[in-house]
Amino acid sequence: MALPSLFSLKGYPGILRLFRLLHPGIGLKRWLLLASLGIAIWSVGITFFARQFISLRNPDFLTEYAETPFAILLLISGGLAIVGGLAGLYRTLSPLIIGRPTLGSLGETLYTRRSRERGPRIVTIGGGTGMSVLLQGLKHHTDNLTAIIGVGDDGGSSGRLRRELGVLPPGDFRNCIVAMSDEESLLPKLLQYRFTKGNGLEGHSFGNLFLVAMSHITYSFEEALSESSKVLAVRGAIAPATTENIRLSAKLTDGTYIEGESNITSRGGIVENLYIDPPTAQAYVPAVEAILEANILVLGPGSLYTSILPNLMVSGISKAIMETKATRIYACNVATEMGETQGYDVSDHIAALQQHTNPEIVDWVIVNNNIRDIGKEFKGESVHLSYIVENNPQIAEGDIVDIDHPVRHDPHKLAKLVLEVYEGKVSSTDFVK
């Protein structure tokens, strides 16, 4: 068998994977070098001692020879270097050893992990299914994620727990924890399990009950989120937009006023103005700090009036968005939503966003250009591209729809386009009627 060429190792993938362990930024080389240096120093120290032992001139070398203190110093410093190098290797590799990857996958896994640790600081603002989809894609690119979630939900299991126990509605938080989790066991599935029977249990998800129980044990919902994230190995942080118990209300174009998030959706009218009560609700400080420190800020995707805008109307959130140096992106929905955005095109979504916040709230808008027939099994219709007259943000278009579920984004396509916008790889599109 011919030996592999020094410059051609394509036929030896195992060797190539091993080289991945030495890739810059992995964090192994420094510890290997330190341990190797320690072994070298320790070996020199041993050599000096050996010289003393074989000397026949004076057996009392510990007091006579000037080399002895130097040898002791070498042994101590070399030993410390060896211990430090091995400890560094253990800290680097121990999180991966639990999964017992093969030697080849270890390099790939470590490389990917280090890449995510150095990834951009991304903050997402919203809630619901759209937010979960986005997070599923972004978590493969960075560990520096912060999901800011709204607290206006008053329907379903979350609404019942909110009314009966006075806690923040846990549903959207549970979904984001599962979406950002690095845990591949049954735990994420357990959190999403919903009881179908039982007096008082029917309709509740286990994850909602778990978060409520954790909030009582830790004495705060924020601490419950933190501890739950640790258990499920969540990549990043999850924070409420506010810790105050806000309630949504809306004025429809026919003059009707509706109170409650669930009622806004079920009413089926066209929203003219959205309000939060109390209007002076203060933003959660860590959420504001995350926005100010972000490299990328993504609004949506998700229900425009009940998931995205309520967060932006919290005092301090919109202000932080306008002050941040992050690339500000609005991920427009790929489909309209019954009860909120029937008949909306891209410009309608942007106009509503600007009306309730600031005309310059975002720098970019991500839109889907794979316009398809949603099908009879789904409600709503595809959101069409449109001409934007004033306060026109830059437009990034792409095929970002989920092939199997055309009312939702594909998580990986959407995350890829978000990062391409941030990296300057996308040119803005001008739409005409």
Q: Could you tell me if 132 and 108 lie in one domain?
A: no
* Per-residue pLDDT, 111: 62
Q: Could you tell me if 108 and 147 lie in one domain?
A: no
Terminal C-alpha separation, the chain: 66
pTM of the model: 0.78
In a domain, 333, yes or no: yes
Residue 26 confidence (pLDDT) above 80: no
More confident residue, 99 or 271: 271
Q: Which residues span the domain enclosing 310?
A: 121-151+241-422
Cα 224 from Cα 216, distance rounded (Å): 8
What CATH number did the domain enclosing 369 receive? 3.40.50.10680
Q: Could you tell me if 73 and 102 lie in one domain?
A: yes
Q: Could you tell me if 39 and 141 lie in one domain?
A: no
In a domain, 234, yes or no: no
Q: Could you tell me if 20 and 147 lie in one domain?
A: no
Integer CA distances (angstroms), 431 to 21, 369, 387, 413, in order: 47, 11, 5, 21
In a domain, 206, yes or no: no
Among the residue ranges 84-98, 152-166, 177-191, 317-331, the one predicted with the least confidence is 84-98
Q: Could you tell me if 367 and 286 lie in one domain?
A: yes
In a domain, 224, yes or no: no
Residue 323 confidence (pLDDT) above 90: yes
Integer CA distances (angstroms), 89 to 16, 42, 82, in order: 21, 19, 11
Q: Could you tell me if 301 and 377 lie in one domain?
A: yes
Q: Given pLDDT bands bounded at 50, 70 and 90, which one contains residue 107? A: low
Q: Dump pLDDT digits (tens) for 61-81.
A: 444 555 667 777 777 887 787
Cα 397 from Cα 410, distance rounded (Å): 14
Q: Could you tell me if 17 and 143 lie in one domain?
A: no
How large is the average pLDDT for residues 333-346?
A: 89
* Per-residue pLDDT, 254: 86
Q: Could you tell me if 112 and 245 lie in one domain?
A: no
Confirm if 304 and 250 have CB atoms less than 8 A apart. Answer: no
Q: Could you tell me if 84 and 147 lie in one domain?
A: no
Cα-only R_g, the chain: 28
- CB-based burial label for 433 (10 Å; 0-12, 13-18, 19+): exposed
Between strands 394-398 and 247-252, the pairing is: unpaired
How many domains does the structure of the chain reveal? 2
Nearest to 305 by CA among 134, 133, 150: 150
Q: Could you tell me if 130 and 79 lie in one domain?
A: no
E strands present in 196-306: 237-240, 247-252, 257-259, 271-277, 296-299
Q: Dump pLDDT digits (tens) for 361-383.
A: 999 999 999 987 777 767 778 89
Q: Could you tell me if 398 and 418 lie in one domain?
A: yes
How large is the average pLDDT for residues 170-189?
A: 85
How large is the average pLDDT for residues 170-198?
A: 86
Among the residue ranges 28-37, 207-216, 259-268, the one predicted with the least confidence is 28-37
